[in-house]
């Protein structure tokens, strides 16, 4: 028993050492978006809805960056574990190039179709005008946004979680200052409202990408950018990234009908959902995201060292730590939902709905505490399909299907929507747990590494 305890504590110490810079980074990420919501909340509920609806589309570059980042972190962690610097550098360089190219069509989309995209969701004309302008500005920085995300995940896969933290703190600090200054017209800055919030986001994302490029070109980081030459690495990168991108997009695309469903209950309900979601992401997002990434790093590097049994133990130990801490965060979120909602809006109805949604997310923390570390472990091995299947099936069947049937068809109203959300997250946790327990992810990783080793001989 003492030996088991020592092993668990060793994994926990390593996880915390890797996780705290990621948690700090994610705190600033979520704080940036929280400040956006608070500032727009000072304008009107319509402004909150406009930015919230535009952010549904703004998740396209986010999902592309996280998708390619999952491929980069899987390959870079495995190649770090097996001490193959050339393959690692090839994977990182190809992921960055692909990320920039993927972002270019989004720039054009924002220019020609931003307002029609918002109008598709059935929003009021005022919301369409504000949301369309904001979306066009944010999409202009899409290539830089994707490059920044891929850069951070690539470095994290090597075990360097501090450089991404420092870059992200600087970029998001700049974003927060710009949002407040340009949104509200502080000092000599013009009062641009929602436009100012968008400009601050676009400029900060460009700064982030440039800062990462300078880090790669300096002596601070171990990876060296190389001219892409290995098609095997490119193929594996795409193969690992696509299911993760599809997973993220299934959530993002589901947000469109889900938000349309919420809008049938009123704009204040929709605004309350976005505020409640922002509260839970601020409170718990840094934790579950850091465990997700840390699990990918730890499990991927252990597999790279040809230690699949150790990788399985580490994945379970990280999940236990995640469940304990996220469960505690969920209790705090449920208890403080109403006062936290009051910090975002003075509208009584919006505050009431926001507090309820925040409470639902608080209960869901127990499911997130299981889902994210196991999903991260699978991704570190290169198995991005199982989390995708979990996400897609849970979102379609429960988040959308059950919520609509219970809330509209059977007339349970928002209670049906709340139940659909909880069932969705519980399903996510169940599927990835089964995939980690019985899946062949360790063999998948071994096969991928053998193939990359064969091309470098």
Q: Both tokens of residue 196? A: 């100012």
Beta-carbon neighbour count of residue 202 at 10 Å?
A: 21
Cα dist. 299→294, 295, 306 in Å? 8, 6, 11
Confidence of residue 425 (pLDDT cuts 50, 70, 90): very high
Q: What would you measure as the largest C-alpha separation in the chain, in angstroms?
A: 67
Asked whether residue 456 carries a pLDDT value surpassing 60, the answer given is: no
Asked whether residue 438 carries a pLDDT value surpassing 60, the answer given is: yes
Which residue has 């017209």 as its token pair?
Answer: 185
Give the least confident one: 60-64, 132-136, 185-189.
185-189
Q: What is the pLDDT of residues 154-163, one digit of tens each?
A: 999 888 889 9
User: How high is the pLDDT of residue 14?
Assistant: 92
Alpha-carbon distance of 363 to 426, in angstroms, equals: 10
Hey, is 124 helix, strand or coil?
coil
Alpha-carbon distance of 186 to 193, in angstroms, equals: 11
Q: Both tokens of residue 288? A: 């579950």
Hey, is 264 helix, strand or coil?
coil
Kindly report the CA angle at 288 between 267 and 362, in degrees rounded to 5?
Answer: 45
Q: What does the pLDDT average to over 282-293?
A: 86
Q: What is the pLDDT of residues 312-369, one digit of tens each?
A: 999 999 999 999 999 999 999 999 988 988 887 778 888 899 999 999 999 999 999 9
Asked whether residue 203 carries a pLDDT value surpassing 70, the answer given is: yes
Residue 122 region by backbone torsions, left for phi larger than 0, else alpha for psi between -120 and 50, else beta: left
Which residue has 């920039």 as its token pair?
Answer: 100
Cα dist. 131→47, 127, 141, 195, 385 in Å? 8, 6, 16, 9, 33
Q: What does the pLDDT average to over 405-423?
A: 94
Cβ atoms of residues 11 and 314 within 8 Å: yes
Q: Both tokens of residue 293? A: 């990434």
**DSSP letter at 82?**
T
Alpha-carbon distance of 59 to 38, in angstroms, equals: 20
Kindly report the CA angle at 418 between 416 and 419, in degrees rounded to 5?
Answer: 65
**DSSP letter at 395?**
I
Confidence of residue 454 (pLDDT cuts 50, 70, 90): low
Of the ranges 20-29, 73-82, 107-116, 386-395, the best mean pLDDT one:
386-395
DSSP secondary structure string for all residues of 11-26: HHHHHHHHHHHHHHHH
Cα dist. 337→30, 386, 410 in Å? 17, 33, 28
Alpha-carbon distance of 229 to 201, in angstroms, equals: 34
Q: What is the pLDDT of residues 56-113, one digit of tens each?
A: 788 888 888 988 988 889 989 998 988 888 888 888 999 999 999 999 999 998 888 8
Asked whether residue 208 carries a pLDDT value surpassing 90, the answer given is: yes
Cα dist. 212→153, 163, 199, 215 in Å? 11, 9, 20, 5
């Amino acid at each position: 028993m003492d030996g088991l305890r020592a092993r668990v504590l060793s994994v926990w110490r390593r996880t915390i050492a890797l996780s705290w810079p990621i948690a700090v980074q994610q705190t600033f990420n979520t704080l940036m978006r929280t400040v956006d919501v608070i500032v727009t909340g000072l304008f009107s509920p319509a402004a909150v809805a406009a930015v919230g609806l535009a952010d549904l589309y703004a998740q396209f570059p986010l999902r592309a960056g996280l998708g390619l980042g999952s491929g980069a972190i899987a390959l870079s962690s495995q190649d770090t574990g097996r001490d193959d610097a050339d393959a690692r550098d090839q994977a990182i360089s190809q992921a960055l190039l692909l990320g920039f190219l993927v972002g270019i069509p989004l720039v054009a989309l924002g220019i020609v179709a931003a307002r029609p995209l918002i109008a598709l969701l059935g929003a009021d004309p005022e919301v369409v005008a504000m949301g369309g302008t904001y979306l066009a500005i944010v999409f202009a920085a899409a290539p830089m946004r994707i490059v920044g995300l891929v850069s951070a995940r690539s470095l994290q896969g090597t075990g360097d979680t501090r450089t991404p933290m420092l870059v992200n703190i600087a970029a998001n600090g700049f974003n927060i200052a710009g949002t407040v200054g340009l949104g509200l017209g502080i000092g000599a800055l013009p009062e641009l409202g929602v436009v100012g919030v968008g400009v601050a986001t676009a400029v900060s994302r460009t700064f982030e990408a440039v800062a990462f490029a300078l880090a790669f070109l300096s002596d601070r980081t171990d990876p060296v950018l190389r001219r892409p030459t290995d098609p095997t690495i490119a193929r594996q990168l795409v193969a690992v990234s696509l299911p993760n991108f599809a997973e993220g997009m299934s959530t993002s695309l589901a947000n469109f009908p889900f938000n349309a469903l919420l809008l049938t209950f009123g704009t204040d309900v929709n605004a309350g959902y976005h505020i409640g979601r922002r509260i839970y992401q601020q409170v718990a997002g840094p934790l579950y995201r850091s465990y997700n990434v840390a699990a990918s790093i730890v499990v991927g590097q252990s597999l790279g060292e040809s230690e699949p049994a150790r990788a399985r133990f580490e994945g379970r130990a990280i999940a236990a730590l995640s469940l304990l801490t996220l469960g505690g965060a969920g209790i705090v979120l449920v208890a403080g939902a109403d006062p936290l909602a009051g910090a975002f809006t003075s509208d009584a109805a919006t505050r009431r709905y926001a507090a309820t949604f925040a409470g639902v997310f608080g209960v869901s923390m127990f499911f997130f505490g299981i889902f994210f570390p196991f999903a991260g472990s699978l991704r570190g091995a290169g198995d991005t399909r199982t989390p995708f299947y979990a996400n897609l099936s849970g979102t379609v069947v429960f988040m959308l299907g059950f919520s609509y049937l219970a809330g509209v068809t059977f007339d349970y109203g928002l209670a049906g929507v709340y139940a659909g959300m909880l069932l969705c997250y519980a399903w996510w946790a169940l599927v990835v747990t089964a995939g980690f327990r019985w899946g062949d992810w360790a063999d998948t990783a071994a096969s991928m590494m053998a193939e990359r080793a064969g091309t470098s001989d």
